[in-house]
């Protein structure tokens, strides 16, 4: 994988110098919170748009607050770092950005400072999928009563990681995790929707999901499109009544599900609800659909 010239570690640094110490609380205890953010390049208009930057940075602020950081990094400082890094690397393509606020010093597990900001921006790998096979994992989604699932904490990702590893070892593309109570929760890094009799259904926010920005966006776009949406618990057996299903998330965008536990979905990989949604989503991210300008921030190119 080719690496960009610069990263951000409390300032612009050459990529090779963006390192953290092995005694840091981030390294030892996973004391870090982060955001994955996209920037989309419109080749026709030669514009680079950060997608839903405000929403992501609001969540980063919330994550730092919940993890009781004593010197949280301010939203405006993260936004400025992201823009400077995109400019320094002179991207003219789609980019995936990670902003991580982490405890960079040594100490006991209850220490909550100092906080450093790390940002990476890399040309986007092609995550676009035309349909994934899904295994309902035997790993259950971590409960909000053990680790706050609304917080995008690095440590939370061990749970989805195990589910992904298991799914791939068993010959599936990815996993769908159930809550401790056995209701559908979400994928390892994406939220889940199924369509049943023309109604889009997604697990409610009490199903131990991350409060996903793309999930909120999808709900809005479905409603604008006239598709009714229900946010409610989903039983495992209800998955067998889905006409179509898809995942959504910043990295995954809108990704159709072709089968769950080897049961094929009737609509295959091109369900009409998913298709219409994906087309609209793509147009909005590129600014070819000019609605919802509040979701795009143009990066001034230098």
Which one of residues 24, 120, 135, 214 is an interface residue with ligand PMP (CB under 6 A)?
214
Q: Does 9 bind ligand PMP (CB under 6 A)?
A: no
Quick check: 190 binds ligand PMP (CB under 6 A)?
Answer: yes
Neighbours of 47 (CB within 10 A): 15
CA–CA dist 70, 14 (Å, integer): 28
HSE at residue 143, side-chain half, CA atoms within 13 A, is: 6
Both tokens of residue 170? 């068993």
> Interface mask (CB under 6 A) for ligand PMP, residues 148-167, using x and -?
------------x-------
Contact (CB, 8 A) for 177 and 171 = no
Q: Closer to ligand PMP at the Cβ: 88 or 251?
A: 251
Evaluate the omega torsion of the peptide bond into residue 13 and state whether it is cis, within 30 degrees of 0.
no
Q: List the interface residues with ligand PMP, window 230-249 (CB under 6 A).
A: 249
**36 lies in the binding site for ligand PMP (CB under 6 A):** yes
Q: Is 253 in the site for ligand PMP (CB under 6 A)?
A: no
CA Rg, the chain, in Å? 19
> Least separation, in Å, of the C-beta of 51 and ligand PMP?
10
Question: Does residue 31 belong to the site contacting ligand PMP (CB under 6 A)?
Answer: no
Which residue among 207, 250, 259, 285 contacts ligand PMP (CB under 6 A)? 250
Q: Which is nearer to ligand PMP, 12 or 75 (CB)?
A: 75
Angle, to 10 degrees, between the axis of helix 53-66 and the axis of helix 75-89? 130
Interacting residues toward ligand PMP by CB under 6 A: 36, 160, 186, 189-191, 210, 212-215, 249-250
């Amino acid at each position: 994988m080719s690496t960009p010239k610069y990263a951000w570690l409390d300032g612009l640094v050459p990529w090779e110098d963006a390192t953290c110490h092995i005694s840091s609380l981030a390294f030892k205890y996973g004391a870090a919170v982060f955001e994955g953010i996209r920037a989309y390049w419109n080749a026709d208009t030669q514009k680079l748009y950060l997608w839903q930057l405000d929403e992501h940075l609001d969540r980063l602020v919330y994550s730092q607050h919940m993890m009781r950081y004593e010197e949280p990094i301010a939203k405006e400082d993260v936004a400025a770092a992201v823009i400077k890094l995109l400019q320094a690397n002179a991207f003219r393509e789609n980019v995936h950005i990670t902003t991580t606020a982490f405890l960079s010093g040594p100490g006991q597990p209850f220490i909550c400072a100092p906080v450093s900001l790390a940002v990476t921006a890399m040309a986007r790998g092609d995550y676009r999928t035309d349909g994934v096979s899904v295994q309902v994992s035997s790993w259950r989604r971590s409960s909000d009563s053990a680790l706050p699932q609304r917080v995008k904490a690095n440590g939370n990702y061990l749970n989805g990681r195990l589910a992904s590893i298991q799914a791939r070892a068993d010959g599936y593309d990815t996993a769908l995790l159930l809550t401790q109570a056995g209701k559908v929760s979400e994928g390892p890094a994406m939220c889940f929707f199924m369509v049943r009799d023309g109604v889009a259904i997604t697990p409610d926010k009490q199903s131990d999901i991350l409060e996903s920005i793309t999930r909120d966006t999808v709900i809005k776009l479905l409603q604008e499109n006239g598709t009714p949406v229900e946010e409610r618990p989903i039983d495992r057996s209800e998955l067998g009544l889905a006409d179509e299903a898809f995942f959504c998330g910043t990295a995954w965008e809108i990704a159709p599900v072709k089968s769950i536990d080897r049961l094929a979905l009737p609509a295959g990989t091109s369900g009409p609800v998913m298709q219409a949604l994906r087309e609209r989503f793509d147009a909005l991210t590129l600014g070819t659909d000019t609605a919802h300008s509040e979701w795009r921030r143009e990066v001034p190119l230098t």
